[in-house]
Amino acid sequence: TFAPPTAHKQSKLTDLLEMYRDGLQAAFDAGASTMSAVSDIVTPYDLPYQAKAALCNYVPQLRNTYNADELDDDHPIRLTNQAAEFDHSADRDYEFTWWVPQPGRGTNFWIPLRINPEQEALWHDLVSEDAKAGEIRLQQHRQNWVLHVTVEYPVEDPTTDGDATYVGLDIGETALITGCALKDGSPTDPFVCSGSRAKQLRKEMHTTLKRLQERETAEWRIEERFGHYQNALTDIVEKASRQAVEYARQYENPVLVIEDLTYIRESLDYGEYMNRRLHSWAFARLQGRIEDKAREAGIPVKYVNPEYTSQTCHSCYRLGRRDSQADFQCPHDDCHVSTFQADINAAAN
């Protein structure tokens, strides 16, 4: 987040944002679907070359990848990694600064950054060029300016020494994460992280934002409430993912096994109400943070197809029934499992 800019810098940032959105809208309205077509449209705009290059990449994606019918009013400024010029000095109140690109020669300016302390090592890597920056996005939230920097850096692929202990994680709504380690093929000491708080927040967020929109409340007030809920949900994601990795770390040579969610959204169809609830829960976001933390802890991550994992008995591997959200029923007389907690059964599978 930027340290509060001076009035002069605030004016330049606002002009840059407005000009960028004008160029984006013009290229989109013209139906430009190739980089050269976008370039022809945005070249006359008073934008830095890093923004024009980013537009040439982005607008064709809107047409060819996202099939967008219209544009959101709140698009951030996208900049290529050529704009990733940062500086650091321990003598300043705000140690890290960004060289803000502007159109024309000699118009760029430095702006101080308020960074996340947990990411300080990555910022040092950016300054020293030990990490490679990707696309940059600049977004305005009321009077605050937020800079998102994609960073690529090498990470060793975690491996195990000796026999692995597989730890399955099932991600859901009622139980946010259900973990289960397999020792000699048997579920051992399961871990459950409740999803009740996240469920309550999502319902409250939907109701509150809908009510504010119906009352035609000021946009900044709606954005403020949305930010409040998103911060609360982010906190839940961070804590839950940390608990899941800590659970796995207690076992010798753990390997986390999680669902491949690349197609789970397409397969969800439980009616409009349930679809809204399930799609609003960021399955991939939570899984991504689990993967990040596992990699940092040196724990390998493997993926399985989630199909039938909630309907298959973890003991005899035959299909059973899930008559309720909580219980799995195995109907086969020769199996020692009759009723089992459904999420733990899925995690074991």
Copy the structure tokens of residue 4. 């509060």
Question: Count of CB atoms within 10 A of residue 349's CB?
Answer: 22
For residues 310 and 322, is the Cβ–Cβ distance under 8 A? yes
User: Residue 202: which of 165, 237, 160, 154 has the closest Cα?
Assistant: 237
pTM: 0.56
Q: How much helix, strand and coil, in percent to the nearest 5, is found in the chain? A: 40, 25, 35
pLDDT at 267: 46
* pLDDT reading at 264 higher than 60: no
Task: Of 23-27, 101-105, 186-190, give the lowest mean pLDDT range.
Answer: 186-190
- For tokens 């029923």, name the residue: 329
pLDDT at 167: 93
27 or 185, which is more confident: 27
Note the pLDDT tens digit of each residue in 108-145: 999 999 998 888 998 999 999 888 899 999 999 777 89
45 or 336, which is more confident: 45
Please compute the mean of the pLDDT values over residues 278-291 and round it to a whole number.
71
Specify burial of residue 189 (Cβ count, 10 A radius: 0-12, 13-18, 19+).
exposed
The single-letter DSSP state of residue 2 is B
Residue ranges of the domains in the chain?
7-152, 165-306
Cα–Cα distance, 124 to 336 (Å, whole number): 56
Cα–Cα distance, 125 to 128 (Å, whole number): 5
pLDDT at 160: 66
Cα–Cα distance, 138 to 21 (Å, whole number): 12
Please compute the mean of the pLDDT values over residues 199-220 and round it to a whole number.
80
Select, from the ranges 75-89, 206-220, 284-298, the one with the highest average predicted confidence (pLDDT).
Answer: 75-89
What class does CATH assign to 165-306? alpha beta
280 or 166, which is more confident: 166
Note the pLDDT tens digit of each residue in 74-100: 889 999 999 999 999 999 999 999 999
pLDDT at 218: 77
* pLDDT reading at 232 higher than 70: yes
Question: What is the pLDDT of the chain when averaged over all its residues?
Answer: 85
* pLDDT reading at 275 higher than 70: no
Please compute the mean of the pLDDT values over residues 271-285 and round it to a whole number.
53
pLDDT at 202: 79
95 or 185, which is more confident: 95
CA 150 to the chain's CA centroid: 12
31 or 272, which is more confident: 31
How many percent of the chain have pLDDT more than 70? 91
Q: Which residues contact 1 (CB under 8 A, 6 or more apart)?
A: 113, 114, 144, 145, 146, 147
* pLDDT reading at 156 higher than 50: yes
301 or 265, which is more confident: 301
Concatenating the DSSP letter of every residue in 234-302 gives HHHHHHHHHHHHHHHHTSSSEEEEEE--TTHHHH--S-HHHHHHHHHS-HHHHHHHHHHHHHHTT--EE
